[in-house]
Amino acid sequence: MPLPEAAARPSAPQAPPAAGPGGPYIFADEFDGPAGSPPDPGKWTIQTWQDDVFPPVEGIYRDDRQNVFQDGHSNLVLCATHDFFSNTYYSGKLRGNFRSMINQTWEAKIKLDCLTPGLWPSFWGVNEDPLPDGEVDIFEWYGNGQWAPGTTVHAASNGKTWEGKSIPGLVDGNWHTWRMHWGEEGFEFSRDGAEYFKVPNKPIHVAGGAPDDFRWPFNIPGYWMTPMFTLAVGGVGAGDPAAGVFPASMLVDYIRIW
């Protein structure tokens, strides 16, 4: 079976700079492997298990070149597909093998050819230690038709401890460069070089919790997050994929951390 084709290509690639504004890259991937190849396994783990979330996503994450591949044009492609015979949806989720620390900047150039009902693309970072946990969603787009896309800092994974911003005018089907700076002072977010949101280093109250229950794990010595690219099918954020158009792809030209 031929590979699904990404619907767009970036302009002719330029040689990447040797360093970001803050110094040499400490983690980077230009996704310049041959067409149909998987992403570098030294840098990435392709998720092959379902997340323990409720309600669960409908799409099955798998390590298959139909769903996770490099396209030969310097792009990573996460592709959501629908097997009509079994009525099964498949998609891709990529987990970085790198642990980023405070005082680092993340940047990725991304195109969303997947803005269709039933899909839920995101670029984010997560800490998976049982405690203190935490997550930063640099952007999420929701195909459920009810929620605006957003950027959110979760100081805990309980869904009750967050600071976020709706960004309906910033997420579309064009190429955009998304950047997050994680510093002692908190988080700064920008798109195409224009800052649009800040979250200061200030503990966030757990909604519905005790009056003194505040969380902020991001400045704890040794705290880390790993970069993630996800294209989920179904679930609370995506909605019903039956009305969606498949295949649909999320393209990543590069990621750089410095």
pLDDT of residue 3: 46
> Please, are residues 106 and 22 in contact by the beta-carbon 8 Å criterion?
no
Confidence grade of residue 22 (pLDDT, cut at 50, 70, 90): low
Residue 19 lies in a domain: no
Answer yes or no: is 18 within a domain: no
pLDDT of residue 6: 52
pTM: 0.91
Q: What is the CATH number of the domain that holds 231?
A: 2.60.120.200
Q: Average of pLDDT values for 135-156?
A: 98
Number of domains the chain contains:
1
| Mean pLDDT rounded to a whole number for the chain | 93
Give the DSSP H/E element, type plus range, for residue 46: strand 44-46
Domain that holds residue 252: 27-257
Closest CA to 134 of 58, 46, 203: 203
Above 60 in pLDDT, residue 11? no
Name the band, by pLDDT with cuts 50, 70 and 90, for residue 15: very low
Q: How confident is the model at residue 21 (pLDDT cuts 50, 70, 90)?
A: low
Residue 82 lies in a domain: yes
Tell me the pLDDT tens digit for each residue of 153-191.
999 988 899 999 999 999 999 999 999 999 999 999 999
- Over residues 92-114, the pLDDT tens digits come to 999 999 999 999 999 999 999 99
Q: pLDDT category, 54, cuts 50, 70, 90? A: confident
Residue 54 lies in a domain: yes
| 8: pLDDT strictly greater than 70 | no
60-61 and 88-91 beta bridge pairing? parallel
5 within domain boundaries = no
Task: Work out the burial of residue 258: count CB atoms within 10 Å of its CB; fewer than 13 is exposed, 13-18 middle, 19 or more buried.
Answer: middle
Residue 103 CA to residue 109 CA, distance in Å, equals: 21
Q: Is residue 109 part of a domain?
A: yes
- Give domain status of residue 9, yes or no: no
pLDDT at 4 over 80: no
pLDDT given at position 23 = 60
Tell me the β-bridge partners of 105.
181
- 7-21, 105-119, 152-166, 198-212: least confidently modelled range: 7-21
Is 17 contained in some domain?
no
